[in-house]
Amino acid sequence: MMRSFSNLTHIVNLKSVVISLLAVLATWLCLKLDIKADFPLTLIATAIVFPIVFSISTAYNRRERALEEYGAIKACGRSLYIASRDWVSEHDERRDAEVKSALFELLTACRDLFMSPLDEGGEHERRVYQAFDRLSRFVTEMRDAHLAPTECSRLNQYIGRMITAFENEKSIYDYRTPRALRAFSDFFILLLPILYGPYFAYQASQFSLALFFVMPVLFALILVGLANIQDELENPFDQIGVDDVAIDPERFVASLDLGLTSSGGPLGRDDGETTLDHSDIQAQEAAVRR
């Protein structure tokens, strides 16, 4: 119950309250001054609903793509660790620890990069490429350990896929849905609930006094709620919305030796268990579907 209420606060916020109050004030003034008009509702759909729905769809597709690429990074990273552990006859715990450390640093740098402002990500991006350098040197170590050239080539392909996935993730981080379209929607979300005061006043004659202001409030809450949903999905890495992609290096590294492939029980984020969290499962399922 508390979680549902918390999720609701991401949709109904201060902006919703302010625009609702403006809509109610405009309706009250129109009733007071007897200004009434039967405006067409198609203007609402054209100016607000269609652009917002398009933006929500675009933002959701970006989030799904981010999950796919995150799953690819983790799948290839797990494959590199398995190769270190099982593909050569002489097991080297130091090499295994180095691969784990490089993967942990890679995901940590990715998390720090994607959660930082766009103008502060340079240092974190350098850390990402330094982690890729460590993984490349790991392949050289595997070659020195007499791993077959074809298998070394496969490891390099895993690293190449991880680099591609990171660059795709970075593109999602760098670029947003069309800003002009969002500005257009935001302008009309602020303007139309006020301009439609005469329409609300016209409709109010069909309701009792206690229900005069229900329509402008619902009108504002619906439009602002849709805009808030779009804003929550805009950046899938900022950990502000409830549907963001959670990069969890600690959970991933802890799971390398456990062979976890599904939730299989409680998430365990609060009590320190090492089962996969919901974002891990979504990312893996997205990678499999792809």
Residue 147 is predicted with a pLDDT of 92
Count CA atoms within 13 Å of residue 2 on its CB side. Answer: 0
d(C-alpha 89, C-alpha 194), whole Å: 74
CB neighbours (10 Å) of residue 156?
13
Residue 210 is predicted with a pLDDT of 65
Tens digit of pLDDT per residue, the chain (290 long)? Answer: 555 566 677 678 888 889 999 999 998 898 888 888 888 878 777 778 888 888 888 888 999 999 999 999 999 999 999 999 999 888 889 999 999 999 999 999 999 999 988 888 888 999 999 999 999 999 999 999 999 999 999 999 999 999 999 999 999 998 887 778 888 888 888 888 888 888 888 887 777 766 778 888 888 888 888 888 888 888 888 887 778 888 999 999 988 887 544 333 333 333 333 334 444 444 444 443 44
d(C-alpha 16, C-alpha 227), whole Å: 10
Q: Residues 64-69: contacts with CB within 8 Å, 24+ apart?
A: 64/286, 65/168, 65/172, 66/169, 66/172, 66/236, 66/237, 66/245, 67/245, 67/279, 67/282, 67/283, 67/286, 68/283, 68/286, 68/287, 68/289, 68/290, 69/165, 69/166, 69/168, 69/169, 69/172
Residue 130 is predicted with a pLDDT of 96
DSSP string covering 146-168? T--HHHHHHHHHHHHHHHHHHHH
Helix spans in the chain (H): 2-9, 14-33, 42-44, 50-86, 93-115, 122-144, 149-174, 179-195, 197-204, 214-234, 249-255, 278-289
Residue 280 is predicted with a pLDDT of 46
Query: Which DSSP category does 177 fall into?
Result: S
Would you call 290 helix, strand, or coil by DSSP? coil
Residue 209 is predicted with a pLDDT of 65
Q: Residues 267-276: contacts with CB within 8 Å, 24+ apart?
A: 276/251
Q: pTM score, two decimals? A: 0.76
Would you call 180 helix, strand, or coil by DSSP? helix
Question: Is 215 in contact with 204 (CB distance < 8 Å)?
Answer: yes
